[in-house]
Chain A
Amino acid sequence: MLRCWADACVCYASPSGDTHLLPLAQGLLLQRLEQGPAPASELAAFVAAALELPVGAVGTAVPEMLSELGALKLVEAAAP
């Protein structure tokens, strides 16, 4: 359950009942992953397009953002 606004996103994590405030980029990652698993490269492209930034600027940050989302138990690694 994810809602995004111009500044950031809020996310209700269903099993734990926690509500998280997420930076926009991470919210977009979650939004994309809600549609199905994806490799990091595809996620970077998605976020870059949405934020109108060059892919290179986003790409290096994606693994760290995914790691933070993983720590919140909002995402997990899927087998390739």
Chain B
Amino acid sequence: MKPVHLIALLKAPARAPALRPADWERVIPQARAAGLLGRLAARLDEHELLSGVPDGPRPYLESALDIAHNHASVMRWEVACIEEALYALELPVVLLKGGAYLMANLPVARGRFFTDLDILVPRSRLPEVEGAMMRSGWATTHLDAYDQRYYREWMHELPPMMHITRRNVVDIHHAIVPLTSPLRSDSAALLADAVPVAGSRCLRVLAPADMVIHSATHLFLEGEFQKGLRDLVDLDGLLRHFSRIPGFFEALQARAGELGLQQPLAFALRYAARLLDTPIPADALEEARRVLGPAPLRALRDAVFLRALRPFHPSCWDALTPPALWLLYLRGHRLRMPLRQLVPHLWRKARMRAEQESEDGQTPAPRMQPPA
């Protein structure tokens, strides 16, 4: 497969001064497609290479970093609003993903632009949490009865809640794996071991091993991979950061075993090492190989994932990429719900998409709508 300019640069920022305009013309669109402009800029900046990027591509990197930085302040504010809404309930509220990386001041947060906040709360207290959020101005979305049921009965999260005035979105999870999935996860264990956020009355983040496992589970249960590389870059960042903890990898594998999530972790370790050169102990990689099955099955998985995890840009695709993405799309759905639910669900999605397209009729010109 062709080399990917963006990935090569993420792995070895020192290459930046040697890149020609034609190379930057690959890097920038790939980074845009992958949602990694800010992260790449942060990586270059850490190595003091950002200011040396040529005049053509540099503004896109610098502005992405500035915007991510500015947005981080706004997201801290939004996190504070969630705390304000929920602290009186006296229950653990665990931040997940971008919100967690930000509030725990992890290196992986730098340059990372995200809009939705994800939290994990005990399932038994979901009604109280939803009520408290509503009183503070968040309203449920996906008002269609089917969608409500999809989320509430089958998925691991409530329908996203959107704030009425500020329009920010919060996803409230009670598990890290859908209820209908063949995989199981133990939310109580995750909540019990969560680490308090400094200075907060009720907010926590997952313990390091759990944070990695959650990120791996989220990525490798996914069906759509536009953000695949971005999530893998998150994993790479988390692993590099937490590997400084003595005994981390042993604890990580043990925990994955306890939670029944060895497979997603195995995928994560294998592909982070393969694509991003994440330093992982040999025995952890060997264990990952073992978990991922006999050589032929592993080879098939490699062929599929190593394509899907590249930037979502035609320059990174070959003839096998579309079928690989399609397989993973099916797999993602299969991992979320059993076939007897999956088939009607996909049928419904396809019907709704067809209705949407036929309604559009007269094709609109691109509209230059300033934000409302």
* Interface: A36 (CB within 8 A): no
Contact A17 B80 (CB under 8 A): no
* Interface: A16 (CB within 8 A): yes
Mark A1-40 against chain B: 1 for CB-CB distance below 8 A, else 0. Answer: 0000000000000111100000000000000000000000
- In residues 77-112 of chain B, which contact A (Cβ within 8 Å)? 77, 80
Tally of chain A residues near chain B (CB < 8 A): 4
**Complex interface: stretch among B30-38, B68-76, B229-237, B294-302:** B68-76
With a cutoff of 8 Å between Cβ atoms, the chain B residues found around residue A14 in the complex are 73
With a cutoff of 8 Å between Cβ atoms, the chain A residues found around residue B70 in the complex are 17
With a cutoff of 8 Å between Cβ atoms, the chain B residues found around residue A17 in the complex are 70, 73-74, 77
- Nearest neighbor of A16 in chain B, beta-carbon distance: B77
Q: Separation in Å of the B67 CB from the closest CB of chain A?
A: 11
Tally of chain B residues near chain A (CB < 8 A): 7
With a cutoff of 8 Å between Cβ atoms, the chain B residues found around residue A16 in the complex are 74, 77, 166
Provide the bound-state CA to CA distance between A57 and B166, in Å.
35
Provide the bound-state CA to CA distance between A17 and B75, in Å.
9
- Nearest neighbor of A18 in chain B, beta-carbon distance: B166
Q: Separation in Å of the B298 CB from the closest CB of chain A?
A: 47
With a cutoff of 8 Å between Cβ atoms, the chain A residues found around residue B73 in the complex are 14-15, 17
- Nearest neighbor of B70 in chain A, beta-carbon distance: A17
Q: Separation in Å of the B16 CB from the closest CB of chain A?
A: 31
Q: Separation in Å of the A17 CB from the closest CB of chain B?
A: 4
With a cutoff of 8 Å between Cβ atoms, the chain A residues found around residue B80 in the complex are 15
Provide the bound-state CA to CA distance between A14 and B73, in Å.
8
Provide the bound-state CA to CA distance between A16 and B70, in Å.
10
Provide the bound-state CA to CA distance between A26 and B204, in Å.
38
With a cutoff of 8 Å between Cβ atoms, the chain A residues found around residue B77 in the complex are 15-17
Provide the bound-state CA to CA distance between A16 and B166, in Å.
9
Provide the bound-state CA to CA distance between A16 and B168, in Å.
11
Q: Separation in Å of the A73 CB from the closest CB of chain B?
A: 9
The 3 A-B pairs of least Cβ separation, nearest first, read: A17-B74, A15-B77, A16-B77
Q: Which residues of A come within 8 Å of B, CB atoms?
A: 14-17
13 intermolecular pairs with C-beta atoms under 8 Å apart: A14-B73, A15-B73, A15-B74, A15-B76, A15-B77, A15-B80, A16-B74, A16-B77, A16-B166, A17-B70, A17-B73, A17-B74, A17-B77
List 4 additional A-B contacts (Cβ < 8 Å) besides A14-B73, A15-B74, A17-B73. Answer: A15-B77, A15-B80, A16-B74, A17-B77
